[in-house]
Chains A and B, each alone.
Chain A
Amino acid sequence: MSTIKLTRPKLDAGEKIYFGALIKGFFLTLSHAVTSLRGKSIGAKGLNSTGLGVTMQYPETKWDDHMPEYYRGAPALVTDEQGRERCVSCQLCEFICPPKAIKIIPAEIPSDDRWAKVEKRPLAFDIDMIRCIYCGMCEEVCPEQAIYLRKDYAITGLTRADMVHDKKKLYEIGGVRIGLVNKWNELK
């Protein structure tokens, strides 16, 4: 470990009295307030501000047209083009999930099922959206490209039970994802 020795800067008498800097500070703060009142804050336009400062007035104004490609909203399960559920319940997302929002009950696919060869699927797949922190680790870790973060962000409910997305709801949000997606590594 390197040690860097710092000495306090030498202050002249004016600086020591402190009032000069104080008054300068007042003017800085005030000028910021004035800019804000005039609706000219830095970044106001980019953040779709409506009114004071940089704040967007939700729900009158919404994010939707400002949403970037990489936006991370609610996680959801997807099926492939043949309607097969991609998830094989390997439980890696359950393992990686930092707030432990995912709960999977794995099960064997019955032998009379069309996809019996796949052997395994989730019997239940619950994501507790109260816990979810939208980090996207589940998407990143998924070896089957079965879970994706969609752009839904207004996840609301009246009870705790409402806020748990079950398998049906997750497929409803997720829909179909066709083909393999180059998630991170362009070469793969």
Chain B
Amino acid sequence: MSDTPSATAELKLPKDIAAEKGLVNVQIDGSWYQFPKGTRMIEACRQVKVDVPYYCYHPKLTVPGNCRMCLVQMGMPPRPAPGQEPSRDESGYEPIGWMPRPAISCANTVAENMGIRTTGELVEKCREGVMEFLLINHPLDCPICDQAGECRLQEQSVGYGRGVSRFVDMKVKKPKNVDIGPRIRLDDERCIMCSRCIRFMDEVASDPVLGFTQRGTHTTLSVHPGRLLDSNYSLNTADICPVGALTSNDFRFQMRVWFLKETPSIDVNCGTGTNIIVHTRGNTIHRITPRQNNAVNSTWMPDSHRLNFHYIDSDSRLTEPLTLSNGKHTSITWQTAYQHAADQLRKFMPAQIAIIGSARMTNEELILLKTLRQTLSVPHLSLVPRLADPDQLLIAADRNPNTTGAQLILDTTDPYASLGTIRSAIQNNQIKALLVFGEDLITDAGFTHGELSNLDFLLQTHLLANPTANHAHLVLPGAAFAEKRGSMVNLSGRLQRLNRAVEPPLNAKDDWEIIRDLISAISGDTAKIFLIEDVFKHISATIPAFANLTLSKIGHQGTVIAETAYKIPLLENERARIASGVING
């Protein structure tokens, strides 16, 4: 290097270099970093992996700054006297004058040449003091509390607390086990007044029913008189509650969190494709929580979707292939079931057969369905639409999770189009054999018992015992969303992955395997696909939108593969709030 360029570089101060990019220089624990203007100090620390404890702060919510746990030591360069040039060190930074009092890092934004210390005696003393105050009235019922194991108070008490309580007076008694809503239980003694739940209900769910009453140590979280915390997003308050004050009635006392295995997956209850974590122990799902994906669901999820998993464990699950003989279903082996299906289907002309699939199927299942259609040369293939009112937050009108995927895979703009045709053809006796995958025609598609009994051969794959299965000559047990791997495309065109959290019960099988084996039974060829990855390879080779992708390349946050006009309302709200600087996001 010659001297000339470095000499010119020396003229440029770090603050100018940063300013060119719209950034500011911040020293955190002795190292200099650059952050955009308006970044909160706590966010800055988090971005460079410096640990700052906090309770009330939430990146998606406004900042009240009331827990005081995120206290750090802050410093700014001393203001020079008029006419005096600030002194600089050899790197061009001004010396930092540290403030004698700590500042909360959540409510302050970074500034040029700012210094942040997250360690040191002052900060540690402050944290210890805050912890001690928080624990004054906090009951010691961790063995009972559901939050134990994922409790911020527990973790930070270990990390920053004193270990021994000096408090000798009686603790303030507050209401315990309060029924504040259909899905949420409140324990006021455990509350540390972080107000996250209040802000969430106000800012995100737009249903401000929570608030504080009383003052001082008697401050109590309560629900508005005459109201209940019955919003469809109420369970998110249990998620964001840093302690065990708000707990889910559904999960309450079911299982300690340290036993739970977490599997990242996606929700299949609507077209939004909310990212979730499935918590399992053994082969049982114990709860589902939202997983952060700023392009899909932020960090939230509706209660109705979250709690819709109990059917997976229910007694009405189909666990064996069933065949209808003399009006009764008897269980048979998979081998006989496939053979039976193939034998039956050979009796019909292709025009007499129709396939009804489901937009709840994964892309992999859909492409195999397409192959099945080609194998049988069936003219009619339709999926079942599922529409309901949207909620202007996360729940979309289209309650099928993979409509976009079906459009791409089946190469049609309306995969539901021919359902009516099929129905009328059944009524006219033109279609005598029907293959139904993952749908209950009577409940979900409005078919009548008469229409179905019109058929000579009805094959259904489904999870649960259902009215359609009563007419089915062959019922094949499939796998629930938490029991299979695969991919789906949500309404905004994002390809996302489902992961297997639990095994299908008894003899139930992954749906793609059922379709694959059906195809090979019908065509007589031995199946050459053994892995779901291979099915996806087939998709990426045949469908342009999926080109150059593999299941593992999708990633946990998904990949956008299609442009759609759909906007998720909740995300639109959030973006507006970020733009206005209310939250950091």
Direct contact of A and B (CB under 8 A): yes
Binding site for B on A (CB under 8 A): 88-92, 94-95, 106-108, 117-120, 143-144
B254 with A90: CB separation less than 8 A: no
Q: Which residues of B contact A88 (CB under 8 A)?
A: 143-144
Please name all residues of chain A whose beta carbon is closer than 8 Å to the beta carbon of B256 when the two chains form the complex. Answer: 90-92, 95
B144 touches A120 (CB 8 A): yes
Binary interface profile of B, 254-271, with partner A (CB < 8 Å = 1, else 0)? 111011000000000000
Cβ–Cβ < 8 Å partners of B141 in chain A: 119
B144 to chain A: which residues have CB within 8 Å?
88, 90, 118-120
Knowing A88-B144, A90-B143, say if A95 contacts B259 (CB, 8 Å): yes
Q: Is the interface of A mostly helix, strand, loop or mixed?
A: mixed
Nearest neighbor of B177 in chain A, beta-carbon distance: A119
Interface assignment of B547: CB less than 8 Å from any CB of chain A: no
Asked if A120 contacts B253 (CB within 8 A), the reply is yes
Q: Which residues of A contact B259 (CB under 8 A)?
A: 91, 94-95
**Chain B residues, CB < 8 A from A120:** 144, 253
CA distance A85 to B176 in the complex (A): 21
Whether a CB of chain A sits under 8 angstroms from the CB of B142 is yes
Interface flags for B136-167 (1: CB within 8 Å of A; 0: not) read 00000111100010000000000000000000
Residues of B near any A CB (own CB < 8 A): 141-144, 148, 176-177, 252-256, 258-259
Quick one: which of B141, B176, B253, B258 has the most chain A CB within 10 A? B253
* Chain B contact residues: helix, strand, loop or mixed: loop
User: 10 A–B contact pairs at CB < 8 A?
Assistant: A90-B143, A90-B144, A90-B256, A91-B259, A95-B256, A95-B258, A107-B253, A108-B252, A108-B253, A120-B144
Expressed in whole angstroms, the minimum distance between the Cβ of A185 and any Cβ of chain B is 12
Contact of A106 among B148, B176, B177, B254 (CB under 8 A): B254
- Is the pair B142, A143 in contact by a Cβ cutoff of 8 Å? yes
Q: Which of A94, A118, A143, A144 has the most CB of B within 10 A?
A: A143
Nearest to B249 among chain A residues (CB) is: A108
Please measure, in the bound complex, the distance between the C-alpha atom of A83 and the C-alpha atom of B148, giving whole angstroms.
26
A177 to chain B, nearest CB (A): 17
Told that A91-B255, A106-B254, A143-B142 touch, could you supply 7 new A-B pairs with CB distance under 8 A?
Answer: A89-B253, A90-B143, A90-B144, A90-B148, A95-B258, A95-B259, A108-B252
CB distance from A77 to the nearest CB of B (A): 14
Nearest Cβ in chain A — how far from B284, in angstroms?
12
* A143 to chain B: closest residue by CB: B143
Cβ–Cβ < 8 Å partners of B143 in chain A: 88, 90, 92, 143-144
Inter-chain contacts of A144 with B (CB < 8 A): 143
How far, in whole Å, are A185 and B253 apart by their CA atoms in the complex? 30
B315 CB to nearest chain A CB (Å): 18
